[in-house]
Structure 1
Amino acid sequence: MRLIHRGILLCFALLATAPALAWGPLGHRIVADLAAAQLAPAARAQVDALLASEHAQSLADIANWADTLRDDPDQAALGKATAPLHYVNMHGSCDYKPALDCHDGQCVVGAINHYAAILGNRSLSIAARAQALNFVVHFVGDVHQPLHAGYLQDRGANDYQVQFDGQGSNLHRVWDSGLLSTRHLDAPDYTALLQKQGPVALPAPIAPLDNPPAQWAEQSCRIVMHDGVYPDGHVISAAYIERERPLAERQLRLAGKRLADLLDRVLGDSRAVSTPR
Structure 2
Amino acid sequence: MRFSRGFAAVVSVAALLSAAPVAAWGPLGHRTIAGLAQQQLSEPAQREVRALLQPDDESTLVDVATWADDLRDTDPALFRSTSRLHYVNFSSAQCNYVPQRDCRKGECVVAAIGRYENILADRSRPRAERADALRFVSHFIADVHQPLHASFKRDKGGNSVQLRYGRENWNLHAVWDSLILNSTGLRWPDYAKRLSASPAPSAADAGGDPAQWAEESCRTVRDDGVYPDGNSIDDEWLARERPVAEQRMRLAAARLAATLERLLGPGRR
> What range is the shorter-chain TM-score in?
0.7 to 0.9
Aligned residue pairs: how many?
249
1:249 aligns with 2:258: no
Larger CA deviation: 157-166 vs 169-178? 157-166
2:22 and 2:69 in contact (8 A); partners too: no
Partner residue in 2 for 1:127: 128
Q: Distance in 2 between matches of 1:31 and 1:50?
A: 19
Partner residue in 1 for 2:17: none
CA RMSD of aligned residues (A): 1.9
1:229 aligns with 2:226: yes
Report the CA distance between 1:152 and its aligned residue: 4.8
Gap runs ≥5 in structure 1: 3-18, 272-277
Change (3 A) 1:120 1:235: same
Partner residue in 1 for 2:50: 48
2:49 and 2:59 in contact (8 A); partners too: no
Report the CA distance between 1:201 and its aligned residue: 3.3
1:78 aligns with 2:78: yes
Partner residue in 2 for 1:8: none
Report the CA distance between 1:202 and its aligned residue: 6.0
Q: 1:92-112: CA deviations, max 9, x gaps?
A: 230011011111111000111
Q: 1:101-141: CA deviations, max 9, x gaps?
A: 11111100011101011001000010000000110110010
Q: 1:236-267: CA deviations, max 9, x gaps?
A: 12221121100000111100000000000111
Q: Which runs of 4+ in 1 moved over 4 A?
A: 202-206
- Aligned amino acid, residue 59 of structure 1: L
- Aligned amino acid, residue 133 of structure 2: A
Report the CA distance between 1:48 and its aligned residue: 1.2
1:202 and 1:254 in contact (8 A); partners too: no
Percent identity at matched positions?
49
Q: What are the residue-to-residue correspondences of 1:24-39 with 2, within 5 Å?
A: 24-39=26-41
Task: Please point out which of 233, 258, 262 is paired with 2:259.
Answer: 262
Q: Distance in 2 between matches of 1:25 and 1:205?
A: 23
Q: Distance in 2 between matches of 1:90 and 1:114?
A: 20
2:22 and 2:84 in contact (8 A); partners too: no
Report the CA distance between 1:40 and its aligned residue: 1.6
Report the CA distance between 1:205 and its aligned residue: 8.9
Partner residue in 1 for 2:23: 21
Report the CA distance between 1:230 and its aligned residue: 1.2
Report the CA distance between 1:45 and its aligned residue: 1.2
Change (3 A) 1:141 1:99: same
TM-score (norm 2): 0.88
Q: What are the residue-to-residue correspondences of 1:95-244 with 2, within 5 Å?
A: 95-201=96-202, 212-226=209-223, 228-244=225-241
2:88 and 2:150 in contact (8 A); partners too: yes
Larger CA deviation: 173-182 vs 160-169? 160-169
Gap runs ≥5 in structure 2: 3-20
Q: 1:162-181: CA deviations, max 9, x gaps?
A: 11242111001100011001
